[in-house]
Amino acid sequence: MAGTRGTDGTRGNDKPVPTRMEPPVGADSAPFWAATRESVLLVQWCTDCDRGIFYPRSFCPMCGSSGSGLEWRTASGRGTVYAATTENNPAATGVTFSNGEPYVVALVDLEEGVRMMTNVVGCPTDDVHVGMAVEVTWEPLTDGRQLPLFTPASGQGPAAGPAGGSK
Amino acid sequence: MPRVDRTLRGASAVVGIADDVSPTGELDRTGRALEVAMILEALDDAGLSLSDVDGVCHAESSMGLAEYLGIHPRFTDSTMTGGSSFEVHLEHAAAAIAAGVCDVVVSVYASTPRSDRTQKRPVTRRFPGGPNPMAEWEWPYGMRMPMGPYALAASRHMHQYGTTSAQLAQIAVSTREWAVRNPRARYQTPLTIDDVLASPMQSSPLHLLDCCLVTDGAGAFVLASAGRARSLRKPPVYVLGAATCHDHMMISQMPDLTVTPGTVSGANAMAMAGISPAEVDVLMGYDSFTITALLHLEDLGFCPKGEGGPFAADGKLGPGGSLPMNTNGGGLSFTHPGMYGMFLITEAVRQLRGEGEARQVPGAQMAVAHGSGMVLSCMSTAVLGTEATL
């Protein structure tokens, strides 16, 4: 839900305060962000070369296909940590979402074969490692969209690897 | 085999250089005044004057610079690829000179981030124009810039190849050994691996001493046609090969965090020069972080992919070693004003002229200046050599 404003045009007291820089919506990514409101992770897909595209574009940078060749698919939400760093000096980045505690910035390879930056949350920072199986979780933004974060995979244990891809 | 184009080989030479740094990390001058001082000093080094200049390179606005200088160049280049901008300028200028577009080109850089802070000068932060996917796909996650992307690359290299923090630390240690011999370097006291490992962890796995400095610094070079170069004040340092490649802008789009586009720029520049890595006497490889330099060693072919850690571990990059690297003390210990690539060129030229003083590599004939821009994004490689290498 979007924050409300007072009748005099000033911010009401219930206006959510962002704890991180909230992402703009790019020219080609409106469907992605709309789906996040329903906790759905979409991946843009090229049906001509049968590959995922990230970040969303107006054409496929791998084969050049555009228009009808592009569609949106629901991702499994599962992935593998490709690279990870713990930011031990949050004051240097100016973020407040970690309450001053160290946090993990990672690149995650989704099962669909695309890679995205994220934070890995829900476990001690020292537990996060390259190759770790993770799954999507959602953090609300102030305008009703949600930001995809990742957390250690539940249930499947380490078996949820990078293989596969939804065809 | 693609045909190797040799049009640029030996067609131009660096004929003048200047740079200004201080062990305090701060300079008195700033902005255009500092840029002009560097240009005039580099021209004087060559025995040229401003009226000889018919090409201008600047990483923000070559038009603004030329207007300030009061010159009307017929070659202009405002390419901004981050720290590799000046290697790209060198390549473009060498091509323009080889094509007969111009005869004498200057490139200049001045940045004073340290004194801007201590003197509380107003600073405008500039971002490239156009759509900015970083704001949408990276900035929300709070990655520290520019450290975070390099930390991610290091984490991947460690996972994939078993590279250790101690091996990365050795690069900082060897680089400091050079800085100890450079009275203009910011840091001149010896360093140990334990010192690096004991320095505070920043973006893991990078320690504070895995990271470059933040200092004021400025420099300029003058490139002239080979014909012109031979009649000037100093021995010409010829451009034997030059090549560039970029494969991403933001780190989340880098195809493989353990392989930089230096594999392309390095191979192409060396093919143009007709040399192999074994023939390089001095390597100036952009060291924004220890991992950056390690990736250059692999991607330029000095060692196989994945073996940069063990390769560096025996100290061969330091004074007396088999591969002298970053002989001025590098971005890690000499200076790093933000876009360090200018100093790769000025130091390579000094070494090839025999002006290296206490850090001179004996008999150096061939040097590589390898710039890395943005976040391992744009690599640009220049192979430079003395008259004997033509």
Instruction: State the Cα–Cα distance between residues B328 and B177, nearest whole angstrom.
Output: 10
In degrees and rounded to multiples of 5, residue B374 shows phi and psi of: 60, -125
Instruction: State the Cα–Cα distance between residues B20 and B64, nearest whole angstrom.
Output: 22
**CA-atom Rg of chain A in angstroms:** 18
Q: What are the DSSP calls for B113-127, one per residue?
A: HHHHHHTT-------
Average pLDDT over residues B35-60: 98
Contacts of B165 in chain A (CB under 8 A): none
CB B52 within 8 A of CB B261: no
- For testing contact with chain A, the best of B155, B259, B376 (most A CBs within 10 A): B155
- Sign for the CA dihedral angle at B18, B376, A100, A12 comes to positive
Average pLDDT over residues B201-216: 97
In a domain, B150, yes or no: no
Q: What are the DSSP calls for B2-70, one per residue?
A: PPPP-TTTTTEEEEEEEEE--TTS--S--HHHHHHHHHHHHHHHHT--GGG--EEEESS-HHHHHHHHT
CB B279 within 8 A of CB B301: no
pLDDT tens track for A3-48: 333 333 344 556 677 888 999 999 999 999 999 999 999 999 999 9
Angle, nearest 10°, between helix axes B341-353 and B85-98?
Answer: 60
Please report the pLDDT score of residue B127 as a whole number.
59
Q: How many residues does chain B have?
A: 390
Q: Hey, what amino acid is at B22?
A: S
Q: Name the token pair of A97.
A: 């979402």
Contact state of B139 with A23 under an 8 Å Cβ cutoff: yes
Mean of per-residue pLDDT scores for chain A: 86
Closest CA to A20 of A97, A88, A87: A97
The separation between the first and the last C-alpha atoms of chain A, rounded to the nearest angstrom, is: 34
B75 strand-pairing partners: B55
A6 CA: distance to closest CA in chain B (Å) = 28
Average pLDDT over residues A137-166: 75
- Is the pLDDT at B75 greater than 80? The verdict is yes
Instruction: State the Cα–Cα distance between residues A117 and B281, nearest whole angstrom.
Output: 40
> Residues in chain B whose beta carbon is closer than 8 A to a beta carbon of chain A?
131, 133, 135-144, 148, 151-153, 155-156, 158-159, 200-206, 251-253, 257
In a domain, B360, yes or no: yes
In a domain, B151, yes or no: no
- Is the pLDDT at B1 greater than 70? The verdict is no
Please report the pLDDT score of residue B217 as a whole number.
98
| Domains recognised in chain A with CATH numbers | 24-74 (no CATH), 76-159 (2.40.50)
Q: What are the DSSP calls for A15-41, one per residue?
A: PPPPSSPPPP--TT-HHHHHHHTTT--
pLDDT tens track for B228-246: 999 999 999 999 999 999 9
Is the ipTM reported for this complex over the cut 0.90?
yes
Please report the pLDDT score of residue B130 as a whole number.
66
Contact state of A117 with B143 under an 8 Å Cβ cutoff: yes
B62-71 contacts, C-beta under 8 A, 24 or more apart: B65/B32, B65/B35, B65/B108, B68/B32, B68/B36, B69/B36, B69/B39
- How many domains, chain B? 1
B378 strand-pairing partners: B246, B373
Chain B CA closest to residue A106: B152
In a domain, B190, yes or no: no
Report the CATH number that the domain containing residue B86 is assigned in CATH.
Answer: 3.40.47.10
Instruction: State the Cα–Cα distance between residues B324 and B313, nearest whole angstrom.
Output: 14
- Is the pLDDT at A158 greater than 50? The verdict is no
Contact state of A26 with B133 under an 8 Å Cβ cutoff: yes
Q: Which residue segment(s) compose the domain that B63 sits in?
A: 12-119+211-389
In a domain, B178, yes or no: no
Average pLDDT over residues B104-112: 97
User: What are the start-end ranges of the H helices in chain B?
Assistant: 31-46, 62-69, 85-98, 113-118, 133-137, 147-161, 165-180, 193-198, 226-229, 262-273, 290-299, 308-313, 341-353
Please report the pLDDT score of residue B126 as a whole number.
62
Instruction: State the Cα–Cα distance between residues B306 and B380, nearest whole angstrom.
Output: 21
**CA-atom Rg of chain B in angstroms:** 19
Please report the pLDDT score of residue A20 as a whole number.
87
* Closest in A20, A84, A90 to B155, CB measured: A84
CB B328 within 8 A of CB B182: yes
Q: How many residues does chain A have?
A: 167
- Is the pLDDT at A69 greater than 70? The verdict is yes
- For testing contact with chain B, the best of A51, A55, A87, A141 (most B CBs within 10 A): A87
- Is the pLDDT at B286 greater than 90? The verdict is yes
Across the beta sheet with A70-74, the strand order is A51-53, A42-46, A70-74
In a domain, B132, yes or no: no
In a domain, B6, yes or no: no
* Closest in B133, B144, B205 to A55, CB measured: B133
Contact state of B155 with A27 under an 8 Å Cβ cutoff: no
Please report the pLDDT score of residue A15 as a whole number.
66
